[in-house]
Structure 1
Amino acid sequence: MNRPALLLVLPLLLVTGCAATDSGPAGGPPSPTHGTEAFDQRAVQVAEAWRPGPDWRTGYVPLEGPTVLTGDPGFTPETEAAFRAGWYRAQVGIPPTRVGGEIQFPDGRLRLPLVSAAEAYRQLDQGDPLPCPGRPKQPGRPTPGGPTVEPGPDGWATSSTQTACLPLTVTAVTFGAVPVRTSRGVAQVPAWLFTIKELATPVVRLAVAPTAVTPVPEPTTPARPLPDGLVAAQNLAAVDDARLTVRLGVGACDTGITPLVWERPDVVVVGGGVTRATGECIDLLKLEPVTVTLAAPLGSRPVLDVFSGAPLAIAPR
């Protein structure tokens, strides 16, 4: 396909390493070593304001994106760029036939309309690669009326001088189910699994029709600004029983980054504490992965950001 794809690159620095903490007893505030008075007060406000509608417990509210990786794909810089941009090419036929299926939650089942493999592939495929700096130059293919002209990294260039990124190659597609974190806990969700020649694991596109997906409810953010020295949680990197890996949004010169958690039987609130730098510092947001261990397995409890009050979704690395 020849649809142009736009890849937006934001200045983002990922910092490796993590800090671990243990929370206090479920149903009460965390111990003094894992919270601050300002954080605890804010967490109580966030938890009390969390009032999702009935669909949170009866519908399908996914807390992961519709494109899922179920294992380590063995990315290279080129294949990761293609995955994030949605660059694909199919070497097999993609069946247009719709199939039936249901979601299996820990507390029951729900039958919903599904999309066909062809529809799922159309959602997955976001166009052809743009010219990419650092790649070997590819000879252009002449087209009627003259050379093809496409935007390059330094402006507009003819196809005879452009550099190219590579798409991911689909060699097979199968129907199955994959574990997905939802508002009702981890569910088995129908999905289309696309085998990719360049990757070690399939790229999975969830098969539930977009019209059957209940959106995450809008949070109620506390009126007061976040107290100085506290930072927001951006998303979840992983959930392993009672162990959460959370990405905090911190300043480029912040130090003393400490994960903070507050929990009760129906909700968990997370954030972080930092020491702000004095003097000049570059204005840059970093994502700092930290780890917290809850007093009890997370189960179906939502994890809320202490700043916005929004439930956190699992985001790819």
Structure 2
Amino acid sequence: MHSLRLLSASLLSAGLLAGCGGDQRTDDGRADAQSPRVREERARQVADAWRGSAAAATWARGYYPMADAVQEPVSGWRGAADERAFETRNFVLDGELPRTPSAFGKVDWGDGEELTRPLMGSKKAYRSFALDRSAGPHLTVTGARLGTTTIVTSRGKATVPAWLFTLEHYDTPLKRVAVTPSKLPEPPIGRARQGAAGGLRSIPRLTGTAADGRSVTVRATHGSCDDGPVVTALETGESVVLSASVKGVERGACPADMIEQNVRVGLSRPLGDRILLDALTGRPVPFGDPGGTAPSWT
């Protein structure tokens, strides 16, 4: 009996590791029905680990923006050339940028909750979005002053300090949030072991939340030999754990392609202040590109 148990465990392990993506397989090369159960079990482990943890308490006290730190002029772009200049980060500075009046600024959620965070200088703020200076269409910054703006965070909308950059030919400024995000707490659970998570994939980032909070859109990955990504949500009162996988994976050799695609995930109720977690890594899902102008945390 002991030998039979060892053999069964070995077969299960081999099945989890077989094929492209680590899914269990049937004879036709498709993902086996056990994989969703494995993924759901992992999602529950992540939710349980975060519930009541020190990491969750740190997250609840922190400042984690969930929208772009660079905000376009309220008046909108004058034309396609200026829009293209913004998208390519092609800026020219024609003026002086002020010194930072203070080393810290306050994040205000408007309900009596405030948080003091380090303040980014105007020059550093400018360099965060002015990444190019090519011969193509460009926008000209003529100055800046410190003001405020509102931004969506993991705790709802907040009023934060922002650098208001004056643009040539524009009546309203380009805004850049001036306070830095809080440091991400150490997750209370580690990354799932490769091959033992039912074909789970990591979720690179959050790209948006619906106005009513009833859905989120995330970037998910897949390859050339499958039918695309699938993202499901396990909802609790404290968190929403997202499990990303792929459907219709083919058997055999496959090019090592990594394709990113937006996937909208519906929720049974608004996300609110529940933490959005990645089932594979056990970490919060960040907004935006970590190397871009609006990472959710430092």
TM band (smaller chain):
0.5 to 0.7
Residue 120 in 1 paired to residue 117 in 2? Answer: no
Separation in structure 1 between the aligned mates of residue 153 and residue 44 of structure 2, nearest angstrom: 23
| Matched position secondary structure for 1:44 | helix
1:297 to partner: Cα distance: 0.9
Correspondence list, 1:1-317, <5 A: 36-50=36-50, 51=53, 52=55, 54-63=57-66, 66-68=69-71, 79=85, 82-83=88-89, 87-98=90-101, 101-105=105-109, 107=111, 108-126=113-131, 128-129=133-134, 164=135, 167-196=138-167, 203-208=174-179, 210=180, 213-219=181-187, 220-225=189-194, 227-240=197-210, 241-255=213-227, 257-274=229-246, 275-315=248-288
Counterpart of 1:215 in structure 2: which amino acid? K
Separation in structure 2 between the aligned mates of residue 53 and residue 309 of structure 1, nearest angstrom: 12
The answer to whether the 8 A contact 1:229-1:276 is kept is no
In the alignment, structure 2 segments of 5+ residues that lack a partner are 1-34, 293-298
- CA shift in 2, pair 1:267/1:75, >3 Å: farther
- CA shift in 2, pair 1:70/1:236, >3 Å: farther
**Aligned Cα root-mean-square deviation (Å):** 3.5
Separation in structure 2 between the aligned mates of residue 289 and residue 106 of structure 1, nearest angstrom: 32
Counterpart of 1:60 in structure 2: which amino acid? Y
- CA shift in 2, pair 1:169/1:69, >3 Å: same
The answer to whether the 8 A contact 1:234-1:305 is kept is no
The answer to whether the 8 A contact 1:106-1:185 is kept is no
Separation in structure 2 between the aligned mates of residue 253 and residue 203 of structure 1, nearest angstrom: 43
- CA shift in 2, pair 1:106/1:45, >3 Å: farther
Separation in structure 1 between the aligned mates of residue 43 and residue 73 of structure 2, nearest angstrom: 32
Separation in structure 1 between the aligned mates of residue 94 and residue 126 of structure 2, nearest angstrom: 13
The answer to whether the 8 A contact 2:276-2:285 is kept is yes
1:66 to partner: Cα distance: 4.6
Deviations, residues 35-65 of structure 1 (Å, cap 9, x unaligned): 9322210101111223316432234334556
Separation in structure 2 between the aligned mates of residue 183 and residue 70 of structure 1, nearest angstrom: 24
Q: Partner of 2:12 in structure 1?
A: none
Separation in structure 2 between the aligned mates of residue 229 and residue 281 of structure 1, nearest angstrom: 16
Separation in structure 2 between the aligned mates of residue 47 and residue 187 of structure 1, nearest angstrom: 26
Deviations, residues 8-56 of structure 1 (Å, cap 9, x unaligned): xxxxxxxxxxxxxxxxxxxxxxxxxxx9322210101111223316432
- CA shift in 2, pair 1:200/1:46, >3 Å: farther
The answer to whether the 8 A contact 1:75-1:199 is kept is no
1:247 to partner: Cα distance: 1.1
1:79 to partner: Cα distance: 2.5
The answer to whether the 8 A contact 2:221-2:259 is kept is yes
The answer to whether the 8 A contact 1:63-1:314 is kept is yes
Count the aligned residue pairs: 243
Separation in structure 1 between the aligned mates of residue 56 and residue 43 of structure 2, nearest angstrom: 20
The answer to whether the 8 A contact 2:85-2:136 is kept is no
Separation in structure 1 between the aligned mates of residue 70 and residue 107 of structure 2, nearest angstrom: 16
1:267 to partner: Cα distance: 0.4
Share of identical aligned residues, percent? 32
Separation in structure 2 between the aligned mates of residue 113 and residue 302 of structure 1, nearest angstrom: 24
- CA shift in 2, pair 1:90/1:82, >3 Å: same
Deviations, residues 61-106 of structure 1 (Å, cap 9, x unaligned): 34556545588867769525632xxx53212332225267521226
The answer to whether the 8 A contact 2:66-2:152 is kept is yes
Higher relative contact order (CA 8 A, sep 6+): 1
Higher helix share: 2
The alignment's TM-score, normalised by the length of structure 2, stands at: 0.67
The answer to whether the 8 A contact 2:277-2:284 is kept is yes
Higher strand share: 1
